[in-house]
Structure 1
Amino acid sequence: MEKLTPGILKTKQHFEILDGLRGLAALAVVAFHFMEMVYLPPQNFLAHGFLAVDFFFCLSGFVIGYAYDDRIGKMGAIAFFKSRAIRLHPLVILGSVLGLLSFLFDPFGGHLELYSAGKIILVFISSVLLIPYPVVADRAFNLFSFNAPAWSLFWEYVANIVYALVLYRLARRWLLVLTIVSAVALCLVTYRAGNIMGGWGGPNFWDGSARISYSFLAGLLVYRSKWIIRSNLGFGVLSILLVLPFVMPFNNLVWITEPLVVLFYFPLIVALGAGATLSPGLKKLCNFSGNISYPLYMTHYAVIWMFGNYYSSHKPGTSQLALIIIAGIIILVGVAWLVMVFYDTPVRRYLTERRKRALRN
């Protein structure tokens, strides 16, 4: 292994349309989480908004391959893990803090009296360290009770570890074999569960392994195989194409339609997004969308729990509910921008610069 240098750690140029689509998927997740507190999936117009997570996984496989395939051999697994931790973990910590605060000071409900201080501390520590601990009934036994979306980060970390230890060395034909095996596993999980919604809680924990395995491998395979489709499709058209599966009806056939979307449609969207043409006027929008996507995803759920308790106690009408949800999404986007500007970016910059200085010395 070559000596690690600051140059090896330099971030590569982004696929800007894919960044924009990532932000759109994050918005879909937020809207879905608001809606699911009110309506069950058949009545939820974003009944399949949860599939945005599978799009994230596929996009992650593509981006990790693009960013690290040609340099992880030089930087080594430990340096790779440090890079990923700097990128991901500051918001894992902040999301846990916000979740704890919403649990302790929710003005609309909750059953704080049922939990000892020791248990609350243990749940918080498990959330910060991404150690699954689904024990809080008031949080639907989520793997991470103070920041429910962190379940996907847990599996993202697992995928990153497997990538650094195994996948980056793997020949494309074996990557294809693994992807096919994972596709079969995903179909079996979907058939057993009836949908691809699992992975977030104790009872459906292992469903998450099937979701990350296939989608991450598929994204990596798209990159390794150079399945980038050049076209004049812009961000607008691809945004519509991405949203279509999120508004797909929730019916008795989802055990067929959901795997079709995850197995074929999302890798196609990634391939199209990587090769599409971005008009100059939308560049800033895509950059903004990509930049706030992760802060939005990791900070919004503290508000979702409070909204759920508010809805249960106040039962607002449909018009009022629509205004609350729309205003809530706008406010959460603003909060995500503030988090990005005043916390996430400065913390990551500080940690990265400190790391580079250590390498120079």
Structure 2
Amino acid sequence: MARGRAVLSPGAPEVEAGVEPVAAADRAPARPPAARRRPPLPALTGLRALAALWVVLFHYRTDLEALAPWLAPFDRLLAAGYLGVDLFFPLSGFVLAYNYADVLRSFSWRRTRAFVQNRFARVWPVHVITLHVDLAMAVAAGALGVGEGGHRRTGEAYVQNLFMVHNWWNDRPSFNGPAWSISSEWFAYLLSPLLFLAVGRVRRARTFLPLAALAYAAMLGTYALFALPNGNLEHLFFVRILGEFLGGAFLCLAWVRGGRSLRRLLPLLPLGLLVVALVPGASSGDYWMAPVLGVSVAALAASSGWTARWLSTTWMVAAGEASYCLYMTHYLLQPVVRGLRQWGDDAWWSAALALLAVIAALGAAAWLLHVAVERPARRRLYART
């Protein structure tokens, strides 16, 4: 997968991509009934909105800074927006561990099938719609085949996208670029039942913090040793998703099974972002911030401070619920954004109107897909458990 210099580092991610609202108490029962659902923690839903926005700012920072020069001092922070994916991935692991680790701690075909079906329903409908939008745009523009930077719009890549395995075989993007992280997420989803079955046998909750540290260390060490000049790991796509997904899952289990609250570490997130914004080279495409982002997810889950309250507001939760659609549609709007930028270059007033139009277009596309596709598809496809 590409690092920050690559055009596609959003996931996710979504590019967690595909995170549900979650919640926790400081100490969860050791063996909660499978049917019991913990109360929601909407702050993690609001956090999704910030992660998706960071990715959008990363991809369009040149256009936005041209329309709004006052954004230029924040260029280093915007250039680090590829790390939005590295916030999505641990958030996904944290959420799924919280909601499913106890349910899937013993094997059941019915529960496993329901889990996979619900994960499929969460990501595939939006993915397949945006795939075909990209395909239609490529046909109209005569852009099928292999394009700049190895971007693949081929028959083989199309079939791989339908099954969400397109990033498993090739580190180059295909069709709707940010969807590479959905392929990685799908890989983690399919492994999750085995993961939760394995950790169900771990009796000492304190074991999970070292496991989280080990997951991140393995990821960062692999990138340090084997990353290509373009920042990718050839044929090792799973390193980034597993390091961060497992990190988030283990941090969650350290909390809910052992009460290891990390809320006092929440200031690490603004401190890390401050370093990224102020230190040259800190947003050069490396992943040193990844563990900070994972710990921040866990700290926010246990927090009841003003940050959690703000992220839990109605508007932030609504934005978080539509964040997957924002992530999956924003890259398709390049012709609109670039056209508005050109139109807005003439004067300050046209630049201001163009900036407002860009925001409106991105928001409208995301909300339309969320309301017309994501919500109905989840209602139809979700397994009732």
CA distance in structure 1 between the aligned counterparts of 2:344 and 2:172, rounded to whole angstroms: 28
Alpha-carbon shift at residue 96 of structure 1 (Å): 0.6
Q: Indicate the SS of the match to 2:79.
A: coil
Alpha-carbon shift at residue 279 of structure 1 (Å): 4.4
Alpha-carbon shift at residue 243 of structure 1 (Å): 9.1
Match of 1:276 in 2: 304
Q: Where does 1:71-150 land on structure 2 (aligned, <5 Å)?
A: 71-72=103-104, 73=106, 74=108, 75-106=110-141, 111-112=143-144, 120-132=154-166, 143-150=172-179
Amino acid at match of 2:371: V
CA distance in structure 2 between the aligned counterparts of 1:329 and 1:144, rounded to whole angstroms: 25
Gaps of 5+ in 2: 1-32, 66-71, 148-152
RMSD: 4.3
CA distance in structure 2 between the aligned counterparts of 1:297 and 1:56, rounded to whole angstroms: 11
Q: Indicate the SS of the match to 2:164.
A: coil
Please point out which of 51, 59, 81 is paired with 2:91: 59
The answer to whether the aligner puts 1:70 opposite 2:98 as a matched pair is no
CA distance in structure 2 between the aligned counterparts of 1:243 and 1:323, rounded to whole angstroms: 33
Match of 2:242 in 1: 213
Alpha-carbon shift at residue 329 of structure 1 (Å): 3.2
Q: Indicate the SS of the match to 1:85.
A: helix
Amino acid at match of 2:161: S
Alpha-carbon shift at residue 264 of structure 1 (Å): 2.9
Alpha-carbon shift at residue 219 of structure 1 (Å): 1.1
The answer to whether the aligner puts 1:50 opposite 2:78 as a matched pair is no
Alpha-carbon shift at residue 182 of structure 1 (Å): 2.9
CA distance in structure 1 between the aligned counterparts of 2:173 and 2:80, rounded to whole angstroms: 22
The answer to whether the aligner puts 1:262 opposite 2:295 as a matched pair is no
Does the 8 Å contact 1:52/1:246 carry over to 2?
no
The answer to whether the aligner puts 1:287 opposite 2:317 as a matched pair is yes
CA distance in structure 2 between the aligned counterparts of 1:96 and 1:246, rounded to whole angstroms: 36
Alpha-carbon shift at residue 98 of structure 1 (Å): 1.8
Distance 1:241 1:298, change over 3 A: same
TM-score, length of structure 2 as denominator length = 0.69
Match of 1:3 in 2: none
Q: Indicate the SS of the match to 2:247.
A: helix
Please point out which of 193, 201, 217 is paired with 1:164: 193
Please point out which of 189, 212, 215 is paired with 1:182: 215
Gaps of 5+ in 1: 1-6, 136-140
Distance 1:12 1:98, change over 3 A: farther
Does the 8 Å contact 1:18/1:273 carry over to 2?
yes
Alpha-carbon shift at residue 220 of structure 1 (Å): 1.1
Amino acid at match of 1:184: A
Alpha-carbon shift at residue 143 of structure 1 (Å): 3.9
Distance 1:49 1:166, change over 3 A: same
Amino acid at match of 1:188: G
CA distance in structure 2 between the aligned counterparts of 1:93 and 1:33, rounded to whole angstroms: 22
Does the 8 Å contact 2:97/2:196 carry over to 1?
no
Match of 1:22 in 2: 48
Distance 1:210 1:78, change over 3 A: same
Alpha-carbon shift at residue 160 of structure 1 (Å): 1.8
Match of 2:60 in 1: 34
Q: Indicate the SS of the match to 1:149.
A: helix
Match of 1:351 in 2: 381
Alpha-carbon shift at residue 292 of structure 1 (Å): 0.5
Alpha-carbon shift at residue 283 of structure 1 (Å): 2.6
Relative to total residues, which structure has the larger helix share, 1 or 2? 1
Alpha-carbon shift at residue 22 of structure 1 (Å): 0.7
Alpha-carbon shift at residue 267 of structure 1 (Å): 1.3
Does the 8 Å contact 1:195/1:254 carry over to 2?
no
Alpha-carbon shift at residue 282 of structure 1 (Å): 5.5
The answer to whether the aligner puts 1:339 opposite 2:366 as a matched pair is no
The answer to whether the aligner puts 1:248 opposite 2:277 as a matched pair is yes
Distance 1:258 1:149, change over 3 A: same
**Aligned residues between the structures:** 327
Match of 1:329 in 2: 359
Alpha-carbon shift at residue 208 of structure 1 (Å): 4.1
Match of 2:12 in 1: none
Does the 8 Å contact 2:207/2:254 carry over to 1?
no
